[in-house]
Amino acid sequence: MKHRYDFIYLFDTTDANPNGDPDAGNLPRVDSESGQGLITDVCLKRKVRNFIEVVKKDAPNFDIYVKEKAVLMRAHEKAYQAIKEEGKEQSEAKAGKRKGSGDEVEAARKWMCQNFYDIRTFGAVMSLAVNCGQVRGPIQIGFSRSIDPIVISEHAITRMAVATEKEAEAQQGDNRTMGRKFTVPYGLYRCHGFVNPFLADQTGFSEEEDLELFFQALENAFQFDQSAARPAGSMAPRALLIFKHEGEGGTEEEKIKSAKLGRAPSHALFDRLKIESFEERPTEDGKPPRKFADYSNDRIKFDKSGNGDWVNLDDFIKPASLPQNLGNGVTLIRRI
């Protein structure tokens, strides 16, 4: 991989539960101090994994390690079996455990990176009883945070059936079950991410195929994730801004090194996108945002020069338009 990347991902939710908290009765996650909605990094990674499973089903080198109902140790055993078939000596497994020598663990780690997309992308701790080591992935995603505080709506729902004969007898045949459902009327969320080219070299993560597939997954993250909690169209990607670092130097080696180290700190690039909240500038009628257009008309700004020269994002760069040179070796690409 020859470049460093930083990216900003905007998405919204309408009348859905984007990420329930199991420790709070599946309520949408919220910052208890600011009231802003939160979505965990693992929630978005799950959607990426699901997309890869859909588009790369049974394709070599694109299996998913952390998937529904998976038994992780089975993958570890496959790694050691593959090493054995390559003719490499192995230490003997004892009582279902295989600690592995340093060389064995390294060989197993490489095999896991090669065969599982999510391991070479996000990393994994694989030091279980059958030890395949640890991998630090090149792509790291932060928590997503809503621009404005969210409201959590609670809805009573009824099922016209009961689960057991005992419940039916207690209700004398009425057979109804009451339940609760929680939704967020509207929230626009912002997420930051980073692609480390040095870690990509260690895991075998490729710029041409693996990174492109990851960005495709973000573009389609909610398309195959519909459920009762997230109906079709209730969650949608709204912007994907990618900062690509270009190198400089007298030789090709110097240019690649410069591009991999990056030409600007991540926070400085993220600060160039400003989204004005409804707390900062309330509407005249005092109504809260209820659709993306409430923000996109004049609240999403980009600093095109890096010196406070704010313009509407859509006026500066449109989705799928030509990349914009931001100066100092950074190029802005907008995919959504």
- Residue 303 included in any domain: yes
79-108 pLDDT, tens digit each: 999 998 887 655 565 545 656 678 899 999
Q: What is the 3-state secondary structure (H, E, C) of 263-318?
A: CCCHHHHHCCEEECCCCCCCCCCCCCCCCCHHHHCCCEEEECCCCCCEEEHHHHCC
218-269 pLDDT, tens digit each: 999 999 889 989 999 999 999 999 999 999 999 999 999 999 999 999 999 9
- Residue 54 included in any domain: yes
Residue 164 has what pLDDT? 84
- Residue 12 included in any domain: yes
- Residue 300 included in any domain: yes
Give the structural domain span for 23: 5-59+138-152+184-334
- Residue 301 included in any domain: yes
Q: What is the 3-state secondary structure (H, E, C) of the chain?
A: CCCCEEEEEEEEEEEECCCEEHHHCCEECECCCCCEEEECHHHHHHHHHHHHHHHCCCCCCCECCCCCCCCHHHHHHHHHHHHHHCCCCCCCCECCEECCCHHHHHHHHHHHHHHEHHHHHHEEEEECCEEEEEEECCEEECCEEEEEECCCEEEEEEECCCCCHHHHHHCCCCCCEEEEEEEEEEEEEEEEEEECHHHHHHHCCCHHHHHHHHHHHHHCCCCCCCCCCCCCCCEEEEEEEEEEECCCCCCHHHHHHHHHHCCCCHHHHHCCEEECCCCCCCCCCCCCCCCCHHHHCCCEEEECCCCCCEEEHHHHCCCCCCCEEEECCEEEEECC
Residue 169 has what pLDDT? 81
Residue 197 has what pLDDT? 98
pLDDT at 71 over 70: yes
Residue 15 has what pLDDT? 97
Tally of structural domains, the chain: 1
Total-model pTM: 0.92
- Residue 320 included in any domain: yes
152-179 pLDDT, tens digit each: 999 998 888 888 888 888 887 777 777 8
Residue 248 has what pLDDT? 93
Residue 96 has what pLDDT? 55
- Residue 236 included in any domain: yes
- Residue 131 included in any domain: no
> Residue 320: is it exposed, middle or buried by C-beta count within 10 angstroms (0-12/13-18/19+)?
exposed
